[in-house]
Amino acid sequence: MTQKLMIIDTDCGIDDAQAIMLALAAPNVKILGITCCFGNTDVDNVGQNVLRVLSVCQQTQIPVFRGSAGPLVGAVKPFQDHFGTDGLGDVLEDRDSDIWKKQIQAEHAVDALIRLVNEQQGQVSLVALGPLTNLALAVRLDPSIPQKLKDLYIMGGNMEGKGNGTPCAEFNFIMDPESAYIVLEEYQCSTHIATWEFTCKNKLSWEFFDKMVNQDTAGARFMKTVTSKCWAFSREPGKGIKDVFFGPGFVPYDAYAVAACVDSSVITEKREYAVRVVLQGDLGRGLMALDPTDKLKKSHRVSVMKSCDLSRFSSMLMASLQQP
């Protein structure tokens, strides 16, 4: 089996944690590094969260890099508590310990991203699970980076104008619209996008979630703990914006992008579009506009995921919590 080299850029909340665990469980994947960005919580919490996940999975040899603490333009928006104020449900102890600071690499995440891609040109899959600030900064420092990637997978944006960050924009994109714009204009590599609506339309049952987190493993116990008091995992109908649009169910948002990178057969339908991120307007800012009729006259197309093999995806999720 050919080994896939992967870098994960993350704003590690609960869904990112599950996505990272899915990648760690894949026998054909080698994670070269994990770069951290603000998003679900502040970047220091993100670093701690990633290190906690790697510790649970006994994979602490993977280097973790601290990256962008805010967007390219403007102040950091107030952090939402979708996954708790710390990103992992506000249930873990030792949050204020300084031990994690000694485990984070001294090299900045953007520098590490550029270095790792240059060391393995044409071989690295980059998976972006949070705001795209680190990626935008990387292409500004080294404009050749996109051409040196094997491919890019993004969880973010939308395809129907339904938003969870604003009425029309998805959370990761609205947290830094300028970076999302730069990445989708300048990363001219093979690009695959798991939009918010795609993930919600391919939701799983809460019965599956219960079976997954009740396995007798360290990974499952960890996931059960961090979701135990988090309102995002409420079963109450209509609790969140996802339920309003798509009905109740379990949606491990970021895991779809990682699963697609690990095994392309998980995605059973996709469409190629030119896209552009909207930067102006109170309602439109952060929206990812699709261009099926070629109004933008762009040569680069991205692959927008439409449907998923839920049986295969469920098996990957189940296996991700069977370690160690």
Enumerate the H helices of the chain as residue ranges. 14-25, 43-56, 99-103, 109-119, 133-141, 145-148, 171-175, 177-186, 196-201, 206-213, 218-226, 241-246, 253-262, 310-320
Residues 40, 130 contacting (CB under 8 angstroms): yes
CA distance 19 to 25: 10
β-pairing, 124-128 vs 151-155, is parallel
Q: Which two tokens stand for residue 95?
A: 């949050």
176 in catalytic set: no
Nearest CA to 245 out of 177, 158, 154 is that of 158
Bridge partner list, 272: 303
User: Residue 267 phi/psi, 5° resolution?
Assistant: -90, 115
Establish whether the linkage from the previous residue to 324 is cis, with ω within 30° of 0. yes
| Inter-residue contact 212 to 220 (CB < 8 Å) | yes
Could you tell me which of 256, 278, 226 has the C-alpha nearest to residue 92? 226
- Closest Cα partner for 176 from 14, 12, 39? 39
Residue 301 CA to residue 291 CA, distance in Å, equals: 9
- Say which of 9, 11, 16, 254 is annotated catalytic: 11
As annotated, the active-site residues are 11
